[in-house]
C-alpha cells in the first residue's frame, strides 16, 4: 500500500510498493501513529493478557471489520483542473486489468513499480490493495472521460509506512503513475497531484496532511510534488529505496 510509486512529469517516481505482510502482534504495538498505548497488568503473576487501549478504528482494522476508511471515495466526484475535468474511479479488476497491466509493462513504469510481466502479476497487486480492510483504494484517474493514470489512495497512518515517519491520525497517502508516455513531461503530473491533494483534504475533513514518498533519486518527481504544493519534510529509508517524504499540509493550504 505504501510507496509513492508514480510516474509524473519526465519519469517514474519511486520504488516498489511498500505494503507487505500482516500487522504485528498487539503486544508489539506499544506505540503507533496514534501515540503510546496504555497497558494494564494489575497482576504480574497472572497469565500475560495485557489489555492495550487501542483506538476503535485500529481495533476494527485488526479484526477485519472495517470498511471504507477513506470516506466513500467513489462518491467524491469530479474536480476541475487546468488540464480538464478529472475524477478518481475505483478500479474494477474484471474491467480495468488489461489497461493497468499495459501501463505496468511500460519500461519507464516497470523500472520503479517492478510489476512488469503477465497479467496475473498485476492482478495480484491490485487484489492486495483490494483486500477488504478499507485502508487503500486503487483508482483510475479519468481526465475528460479518458482513463490516463493509476492512483492508490491510502490511509498512511494505518499503513506500514507509519513506522518510518511521525504519522498523524488520518494522514492520507498517494501513489501515482501516469500511463502513457505522451502524458508525461508536460506538467500534467503537478496539476493532477495538486488537484488530488485538494480533493482529499476537501472530502476528508479529519485528514491533516497528504503524504507521499518518491524515490530520492527521482528529482523530476520531487519537483512535481513541490510544484503541486507539497513540501520536502525528510529523507526516510523504506524497503528498496531511500525516499523523500513529501507533505501537503492542510493548515498551510488553508492559510493561503
Residue 57 forms part of a structural domain:
no
The verdict on residue 185 lying in a domain is yes
Model's pTM, two decimal places?
Answer: 0.77
| 246: number of Cβ within 10 Å | 27
Task: Provide the CA 164 distance to its chain's centre, in angstroms.
Answer: 14
The CATH number that applies at residue 189 is 3.40.630.30
The per-residue pLDDT string of the chain (256 residues; one tens digit each, 9 = 90 and over) reads 444 445 543 333 333 343 433 333 322 322 333 333 222 333 444 333 333 344 444 444 444 434 457 878 889 999 999 999 999 999 999 999 999 999 999 998 998 888 999 999 999 999 998 875 778 999 999 999 999 999 999 999 998 899 889 999 999 999 999 999 999 888 899 999 999 999 999 999 999 999 999 888 888 889 999 999 999 999 999 888 899 999 999 988 876 5
Q: How many domains does the chain have?
A: 1
Whether residue 33 is contained in a domain is answered as no
Does residue 115 sit within a domain?
yes
- CB burial string 124-158: b at 16+ within 10 A, e below: ebbeebbeebbbbbbbbbbbeeebbbbbbbbbbbb
> What one-character-per-residue DSSP string does 206-233 give?
T--EEEE--BTT-HHHHHHHHHTT-EEE
Bridge partners (DSSP) listed for residue 153: 137, 174
Q: What is the pLDDT of residue 68?
A: 58
What sign has the CA pseudo-torsion 153, 159, 160, 163? positive
Host domain of residue 119? 7-24+69-255
Residue 61 lies in a domain: no
pLDDT of amino acid 168: 95
Whether residue 49 lies inside any domain: the answer is no
Closest CA to 218 of 4, 17, 11, 3: 11
**Per-residue DSSP letter, 81:** E
List the end-to-end C-alpha distance of the chain, in Å, as a whole number.
Answer: 31
Residue 38, domain member (yes or no): no
Distance CA 61, CA 38 (A): 19
In a domain, 251, yes or no: yes
Amino acid at each position: 500500500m505504501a510507496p509513492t510509486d508514480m510516474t509524473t512529469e519526465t519519469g517514474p517516481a519511486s520504488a516498489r510498493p511498500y505494503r507487505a505482510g500482516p500487522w504485528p502482534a498487539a503486544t508489539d504495538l506499544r506505540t503507533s501513529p496514534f501515540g503510546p498505548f496504555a497497558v494494564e497488568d494489575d497482576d504480574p503473576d497472572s497469565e500475560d493478557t495485557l489489555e492495550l487501549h487501542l483506538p476503535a478504528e485500529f481495533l476494527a482494522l485488526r479484526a477485519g471489520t472495517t470498511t471504507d476508511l477513506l470516506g466513500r471515495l467513489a462518491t467524491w466526484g469530479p474536480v476541475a483542473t487546468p488540464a480538464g475535468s478529472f475524477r478518481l474511479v475505483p478500479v474494477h479488476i474484471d474491467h480495468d486489468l488489461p489497461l493497468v497491466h499495459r501501463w505496468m509493462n511500460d519500461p519507464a513504469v516497470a523500472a520503479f513499480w517492478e510489476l512488469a510481466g503477465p497479467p496475473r502479476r498485476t492482478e495480484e497487486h491490485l487484489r492486495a490493495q483490494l483486500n477488504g480492510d478499507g485502508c487503500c483504494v486503487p483508482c483510475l484517474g479519468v481526465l475528460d472521460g479518458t482513463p490516463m493514470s493509476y492512483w492508490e489512495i491510502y490511509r498512511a497512518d494505518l499503513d506500514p509506512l507509519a513506522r518510518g515517519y511521525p504519522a498523524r491520525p488520518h494522514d492520507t497517502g498517494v501513489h501515482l503513475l501516469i500511463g502513457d508516455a505522451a502524458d508525461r513531461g508536460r506538467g500534467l503530473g503537478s496539476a493532477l497531484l495538486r488537484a488530488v491533494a485538494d480533493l482529499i483534504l476537501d472530502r476528508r475533513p479529519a485528514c491533516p496532511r497528504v503524504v507521499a514518498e518518491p524515490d530520492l533519486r527521482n528529482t523530476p518527481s520531487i519537483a512535481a510534488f513541490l510544484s503541486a504544493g507539497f513540501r520536502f519534510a525528510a529523507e526516510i529509508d523504506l524497503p528498496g529505496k531511500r525516499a523523500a517524504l513529501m507533505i501537503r499540509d492542510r493548515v498551510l493550504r488553508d492559510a493561503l
